[in-house]
Structure 1
Amino acid sequence: MRTTIGRRLTGLLTGALLAAGTLFATAAPAQAYDPDPSVSTYYRDTDTCPCSGGTLTDPFDGTYFAHDAGGTAVKMELNDAGWFIGKVEFHPNDEKLWVYDTKNDGDTFYVAVGYSSGGSYHDLGTFSAPGTSETVDLTVKDFDIPDGAYVDITVYDGEGRADLIAAARGTGGAVA
Structure 2
Amino acid sequence: MRTSIGERFTGLVTGALLTAGALFATAAPAQAYDPDPGVFAYYRDTDTCPCSGGSLTDPFDDTYFAHDAGGTAVKMELNDAGWFIGKVEFHPSGEKLWIYDTRNDGDTFYVAVGYSSGGSYHDLGTFSAPGTSETVDLTVKDFAIPDGAYVDITVYDGAGRADYIAAARGTGGAVA
Q: Which residue of 1 aligns with 2:36?
A: 36
| Structure 2 letter corresponding to 1:82 | G
Residue 143 of structure 2 corresponds to residue 130 of structure 1: no
- C-alpha displacement at 1:30, in angstroms? 1.0
Q: Which residue of 1 aligns with 2:165?
A: 165
Q: Supply the AA of the counterpart residue of 1:157.
A: D
2:60 alignment counterpart: 60
Q: How is 1:46-125 mapped onto 2 (pairs within 5 angstroms)? A: 46-125=46-125
Q: Which moved more, 1:146-155 or 1:28-37?
A: 28-37
1:155 counterpart letter in structure 2: V
Shift of 1:23: 5.3
The offset of 1:134, in angstroms, is: 0.0
SS in structure 1 of the partner of residue 55 of structure 2: helix
Letter in 2 for 1:40: F
SS of 2:47's equivalent?
helix
**Structure 1 residue ranges (4+ consecutive) displaced by more than 2 angstroms after TM superposition:** 17-26
Residue 35 of structure 1 and its aligned partner are, at CA, apart by 0.1
Deviations 1:112-154 (A, max 9, x none): 0000000000000000000000000000000000000000000
| Rounded Cα–Cα distance in structure 2 between residues aligned with 1:167 and 1:91 | 16
TM-score by length of structure 2 reads 0.85
Cα distance in 2 between the residues matched to 1:174 and 1:30? 40
Q: Which ranges of structure 2 fall in alignment gaps of 5 or more residues? A: 1-17
Could you tell me how far apart the structure 2 residues matched to 1:148 and 1:108 are? 31
Structure 2 distance, partners of 1:96, 1:29, is: 32
Tell me the amino acid that sits aligned with residue 34 of structure 2: D
DSSP-derived class of the 1:55 partner: helix
Percent of matched pairs sharing the same residue: 87
**Structure 1, unaligned runs of 5 or more:** 1-16
Aligned residues: 158
SS in 1 for 2:33: coil
Shift of 1:25: 3.8
Structure 1 CA distance for aligned equivalents of residues 144 and 102 of structure 2? 27
Q: Return the alpha-carbon distance in structure 1 between the equivalents of residues 19 and 119 of structure 2.
A: 57
Q: 1: distance between equivalents of 2:173 and 2:100?
A: 23
- Distance in 1 (alpha carbons) for counterparts of 2:102 and 2:38: 15
Deviation at 1:22, TM superposition (A): 5.4
CA drift at 1:29: 3.3
Q: CA deviation at 1:19?
A: 9.0
Q: Distance in 2 between matches of 1:24 and 1:98?
A: 35
State the match for 2:45 in structure 1: 45
The 3-state SS of whatever aligns with 1:144 is coil
